[in-house]
Structure 1
């Protein structure tokens, strides 16, 4: 097997082959006790990737074991696990891979009391994402989340087994006789444009959630344009995607829906992705539908590996029609801290007259983003809309603080940031 198994981590299954159940005898790593395998062969296979993290975990536990364990409240437990993870990162002297972070966020402990004695634990047979001690095994607290957590697992396994760099849109139906306001929400769009009728209910949900994770970005942008009553003035439309990351680069093919749903007068859409983690490049999406080809429509991409304020001042700058940031996290670092990089970019945006669309994971993040923008600008800037995004992704993600979260779940729309 290749390293696709490192795409995600579940404490209740073999990390390499993802087998689980009563017939699978899992053995935890004897050194760190945080990861399990169904055989010595799979443990040896993963050892070259695990050994440095394993040593860092052991070193931290030697000195801080009692501070990490024996906490029961959710808030205390999350804080202890976060501190544990940060101490391990310092020992390791590198950032954790996503699956390694999940080892700290989702260990095999009781969902209710965080009991970690494996002899007292039973795993949920349906979702495989949580465990319960004997005292709490009949708790109803997990009932409403179980199906969604199972959906998470099915989507993780799908992503691991299907080798692809981006979504295959063979099942996406092209629609040129509709606009974004013809669809009420993401499910409505998928029911109309993606063929899921032959699937079972569970497979249909998996397909819809998988497709929505890619479609949510362009559809969120189109929804923002609708709320702004924005009508493109020219044959070309230029969009700036700020705080762009590998997530945006993995969903490029989905942006073709812009060609389907923008006014027919628009024949060219250029998406300029700006963010310090994206790879530099300029290219066109060649694999577009036959209708787009017939109408000579074009979808162009530029990627600039820099902060937005630096892009604004660079020779490569192209004036946008709209600016959008997906789950940008403007509020995450305090102003004047060395990690805070947004203030110059927000200040530069405020001097322009561009509509700005921002998405967030939660309602509380919406308020934090707005407050931080106001703090940076030193004035109250009114948005025309803030609230639930009907075109949020349907793909749930596990989280240790909110239990589940969705990309672009909420949206903030500014006509501009000008004082």
Structure 2
């Protein structure tokens, strides 16, 4: 059973915080084995005194901050003083709490520490926190202040419960075992088969056990879907809006805003070549300031194709460019792309003004992004709300025609907790929504 059977590994993701799991080893609560809560801050849990002592050096400063803040207003814990059912106020309260904590402690909180603020054990219905809570004993990711609120949320949570369990298992696996880099399916199409209604056409869902546990095969499936979602999103966009590209001998694709997520397990991008039998070569160019550890022209990745592709003289090249896209376009070897892909773009994440450094050093470069030679700009977003705002930001700065903006049938199936609960959903997925635009050549 994947929920309990973890081994050892080498490459890990950052640790996550779940109020129902041991803060050290991520062992999760069960009906017969509930974690013991820190008696000071009442926010962090441990499976044993040994792990609590082991973690005290790292936890004590934040623990004191949380406990003192609660004591000053005579509340059960840090979050008990918040009293509003309004989601925007709840989001603002938690984000401001992180910023204030970092300022007062003169430190940058780790991901797990930030998640203490983002995912507290608070009532999903009204956001209140108290000593007696009513947990969902299936996922141990959602709690309520009363049986009434738990009952009121039954239908909504039923649709999310298993996804939250899968998110917990996946987060634990990648932080305690290894980051999963599954092998892509080896079949190579001899005839162009087009796109499909959804990603499970390419990677069929595994059989679910009768006891409803998260199996290792289900876990592997969600990691694989995340691995090939980008390549299949490109395929889907080509098939729907530029079918002539599926027959082009040489494709030039730019992956912009790239970071470690895009280049970890580069072989995953070969999956697109496997679906395009008429294409002889694909050139992938990964562009983004976050690729700062790469060295252009001196340390470019060389990943050989699979044997069937190599035997048929098919090839893929990869190049990394640690710069903004506008600067990349000025390089002598720049060639206009057939497609540009920006995964989980976040165009609208920051205010678009000169005072916002994340904007000026990031997507202020947006006007350079849309190909003016007939190529497509494909960008994805984590949630429906983000997709709408990202499109508005693109339309503000770029003269484009909108081809589609909707839920992406080739999205990842690996759930991630959504602290903002966009559209009242507890999880989101990588590449969940996709938008395709092209340069408006009529003006």
TM-score of Structure 1 vs Structure 2, range by shorter chain: 0.7 to 0.9
Q: 2:274 aligns with which of 260, 265, 285?
A: 260
| Cα gap change, 1:350 to 1:10, in 2 (>3 Å) | closer
Q: 2:404 aligns with which of 367, 385, 400?
A: 385
Deviations along 1:70-124, one digit per CA (max 9) or x if unpaired, are 3130423222122112211323445433322221111112222333223x11322
The secondary structure found in structure 2 opposite 1:340 is helix
| C-alpha displacement of 1:326 | 0.8
Q: Is the 8 A contact 2:135 2:143 kept in 1?
A: yes
State yes or no: 1:241 paired with 2:255. yes
| Cα gap change, 1:38 to 1:199, in 2 (>3 Å) | closer
Q: Is the 8 A contact 1:220 1:392 kept in 2?
A: yes
Deviations along 1:362-392, one digit per CA (max 9) or x if unpaired, are 3333332222122224x5x212222221111
State yes or no: 1:11 paired with 2:19. yes
State yes or no: 1:283 paired with 2:301. yes
Show the counterpart of 1:167. 181
Q: Is the 8 A contact 1:167 1:253 kept in 2?
A: no
The secondary structure found in structure 1 opposite 2:42 is coil
| Cα gap change, 1:159 to 1:352, in 2 (>3 Å) | same
Show the counterpart of 1:222. 235
| C-alpha displacement of 1:182 | 4.8
| C-alpha displacement of 1:219 | 0.5
- Distance in 2 between residues matched to 1:21 and 1:351, nearest whole Å: 53
- Distance in 1 between residues matched to 2:287 and 2:161, nearest whole Å: 37
| Cα gap change, 1:363 to 1:283, in 2 (>3 Å) | same
The secondary structure found in structure 1 opposite 2:380 is strand
Q: Is the 8 A contact 2:251 2:279 kept in 1?
A: no
The 5 A counterparts of 1:84-233 are 84-118=97-131, 120-135=132-147, 136-139=149-152, 140=154, 141-164=156-179, 166-169=180-183, 172-179=185-192, 181-191=194-204, 196=206, 202-203=214-215, 204-232=217-245
| C-alpha displacement of 1:137 | 4.2
Show the counterpart of 1:363. 384
Q: Is the 8 A contact 1:343 1:376 kept in 2?
A: no
State yes or no: 1:374 paired with 2:395. yes
- The runs of 5 or more residues in structure 1 that have no matched partner are none
Q: Is the 8 A contact 2:195 2:236 kept in 1?
A: no
- Distance in 2 between residues matched to 1:113 and 1:253, nearest whole Å: 46
- Distance in 1 between residues matched to 2:370 and 2:208, nearest whole Å: 49
Q: Is the 8 A contact 2:222 2:414 kept in 1?
A: yes
- Distance in 2 between residues matched to 1:297 and 1:199, nearest whole Å: 41
- Distance in 1 between residues matched to 2:328 and 2:267, nearest whole Å: 24
Moved more, 406-415 or 91-100: 91-100
- Distance in 2 between residues matched to 1:197 and 1:178, nearest whole Å: 29
- The runs of 5 or more residues in structure 2 that have no matched partner are 1-7
The secondary structure found in structure 2 opposite 1:285 is coil
Q: 1:330 aligns with which of 335, 339, 347?
A: 347
The alignment yields a C-alpha RMSD, in angstroms, of 3.1
- Distance in 2 between residues matched to 1:350 and 1:373, nearest whole Å: 9
Deviations along 1:27-47, one digit per CA (max 9) or x if unpaired, are 333443321112232123333
Aligned residues: 409
The 5 A counterparts of 1:33-48 are 33-48=42-57
Show the counterpart of 2:329. 312
Deviations along 1:5-37, one digit per CA (max 9) or x if unpaired, are 952221012122222224435333344332111
State yes or no: 1:411 paired with 2:434. yes
TM normalised by structure 1 equals 0.86
Show the counterpart of 2:367. 347
